[in-house]
A and B are shown apart, each in its own frame.
Chain A
Amino acid sequence: MKYIIDRFEGNFAIVELSDKTFVNIPKAAIPPEAKEGAVIDVSVDKGSTEARTEKINNLMGDLFK
C-alpha cells in the first residue's frame, strides 16, 4: 500500500491514504529522508518476518520447559 506525505506538523507527518483520507503518523516512523510529497510504499517484508519468527521461536524453544 502507498500513501503520500502531505505535510509535517510538530512530531507528525500528515499523510494521505489511498482512500483520500488523512492521518497522522509519528515522524519517527517515516524515513528521515522523506520530504513533503514523498510517496511512501508500505509492504510486509516477508523475509524479515520469517527471520524474526524463526529467531524468536528459537529463543522461546530454549526457554520453555
Chain B
Amino acid sequence: MTREEILNKYGKSKDNLLYILHDIQDNNPRHYLTEEDLRAVANWLNLPYSYVHGVATFYSMFSLKPRGKYIIRVCESPTCHLMGSSDVIVELVKTLGIGIGETTKDELFTLELTSCIGVCGVAPAMMINEEVYGNLTPEKVKQIIEEKRRESK
C-alpha cells in the first residue's frame, strides 16, 4: 500500500492521527516513520508539523529512526525482572553486539526494552515483532536469535 492509499482510508479528523501513524509505520519494512510521512499526515489532517511530531514522539510504539527487520522488545517490568529478565537482556546485548535502542549493522535486529506486555505467566518474556516468546533463558534467547537469522535468509 502506498502512503496515499493509507491516508485515503481515513477521514480528515484529528482523532485518526494515532491510527494513521500505526498503519504507515506498519507499512514500512524498517518499522519507522519518516520525516515525509509526518509531513504527509500533517498535511492530510491539516495540523501543524510540530503537533504531529509532538504526538508521534510521545508513544513508545512509534519510532522516527529506521529499525531492523525484527524488533525485539524485552519486558523489563518488575514481574519479568523478578523472574530473570536482566540475564536475558545481558545475553541479547552480547549476542547481538548492540546496545538498547540500537540496530545491528546488518539491519536485522533492533533491541528495545518495553513495559509489561501482559504475558506475565511466562516471565521473563519478549516480543519479536508480533510474536511472543516466554520462559526465556540466556540459552533459549541465543537459539531464538539464530533461528531468526536463518529465517531471514
Is this pair of chains taken from one and the same complex? no
Which B residues contact A (CB, under 8 angstroms)? Answer: none
